[in-house]
Amino acid sequence: MKILYVLPIAVLLAVLFHSASAEVYIADKEYAGHFDSNGAYTVYGAVKNTGINTVLAKVQVTVVDGNSTFSESRILPVIFSLDDMPFKFRFPQITGGDPILEKPMVSFLKTNDKALNVVINYDKTLVKYPDGHLTGFITNKGNDTVHNISIYALVHNKNNDYLDEVENTWPIPSLGVGDKTEFVMIPDPSVASQVYYYSCFIPGTDNSIQISLPLHGKTFYFNVLSIVYFTNQQFTSDGSTLSLKASNPWQIPYYANFMFPHDSSEGNFEVLIDGAKTSELTSFDNDTKNWHVAFNVPYGQHSVSISGFKPSYAPNNDQYFYLDAKTALTSWAGFSTNPISDSKLLEVLGIKGHYIPPWVKTSVSFMIYDDLPADSVVQEIKFLKAQGIIR
């Protein structure tokens, strides 16, 4: 959830992406590809901004695999002056052979975003572990609360070769003025044994924003991940339909991914753009417990309506718990300098008890290294509770 880095619509309309220049570029030595631990070809690199302006960069990566060519592009988080922004592209279609990585294409636009006053604590709390993963703390030294922070870094071996691009294992939902909180970084297992040091730590946010509006006497919060600018949000009187105004300045259709609380709907969403039904894609994220509603917004100004909310739904904003299931499991299993107790983990999961067998931490390691869903570990813990193994 965040409210920073909503690019002013006047800026977006005034200038489209420019070709990369000597100020904004990807260095050859910081651009490479390898097969990750799951056998998929992965490309990693970093965009350098040596200019005086904050920029929003778009990277296009192309890989030739035999007779097939695969190309993906992505808009990165904003890059402040004299900063780098790491990135990673994964091509699951390429699982072997000798793929050819073509020179990347970088374009950018200048923005008026101000520097994010969130800093890495370069002290004894910044720890690299024998298995290659790292933990550390960040502090908000700015004047405003920052939402949904991600930490990006580059990973190197003893020869200073570039091994990987990593991000913290979960977004940091909120950090108040003067507060600090921990982050965890875990490299791909295929390079973990070679990790010697991390560099270019960059706190940042992606291009999603937090939007709020009144609903049944409380405040309804949701997130939008998109460059499209949304305003004038309001619910119908029964709370079943959300309407917004959309401005897409990019001269091509651009996606929008809306994230709604899990208990606000049964998932039967329908999206209309200017009164016409669009082909939305609805999914459920088991880790964040959010509904995702994604669709393309054409170029220009449009009216958008999203229906399918429970008319009886009332937001519960009385308390906000930082620890979600995935974060709590990661901390409890020791992948953190701030481990939590058995009883605290069970409290976060809504289970009464004070003891969990230590071997359950093996399942958490599968969650971290092998993409086992956090919900699977939670279900295992609930099963062990029902069997009397967790007390």
Residues 142 and 220 in one domain: no
What's the confidence (pLDDT) of residue 273?
97
Q: Return d(Cα 310, Cα 285) in angstroms, integer.
A: 19
Residues 125 and 214 in one domain: no
Its domain, for residue 274, covers 208-309
Q: Return d(Cα 59, Cα 70) in angstroms, integer.
A: 14
Domain-located, residue 131: yes
Among 180, 204, 228, which residue terminates a domain?
204
Residues 79 and 18 in one domain: yes
Domain count, the chain: 4
What's the confidence (pLDDT) of residue 322?
39
What's the confidence (pLDDT) of residue 68?
92
Residues 288 and 358 in one domain: no
Residues 94 and 13 in one domain: yes
What's the pTM value of the predicted model, to 2 decimals? 0.55
Residues 107 and 15 in one domain: yes
Residues 160 and 172 in one domain: yes
Residues 98 and 147 in one domain: no
Which residues partner with 45 through β-bridges?
31, 87
Q: Return d(Cα 359, Cα 4) in angstroms, integer.
A: 41
Q: Which of 257, 248, 225 is nearest to 299 (CA)?
A: 248
What's the confidence (pLDDT) of residue 41?
93
> Which SS3 state, helix, strand or coil, does residue 123 take?
coil
Among 266, 285, 309, which residue terminates a domain?
309
pLDDT digits (tens, 9 = 90+) for 348-391: 888 999 999 999 998 988 887 777 888 899 999 999 999 999 99
CATH number at residue 103: 2.60.40.10
Which regions of the chain are under pLDDT 70?
A: 1-22, 111-115, 171, 205-210, 227, 249-251, 286-288, 316-324, 336-338
Contact 208, 237 (CB under 8 A): no
Domain-located, residue 267: yes
What's the confidence (pLDDT) of residue 170?
73
Domain-located, residue 168: yes
Site of tokens 């939007």 = 211
Among 204, 235, 267, which residue terminates a domain?
204
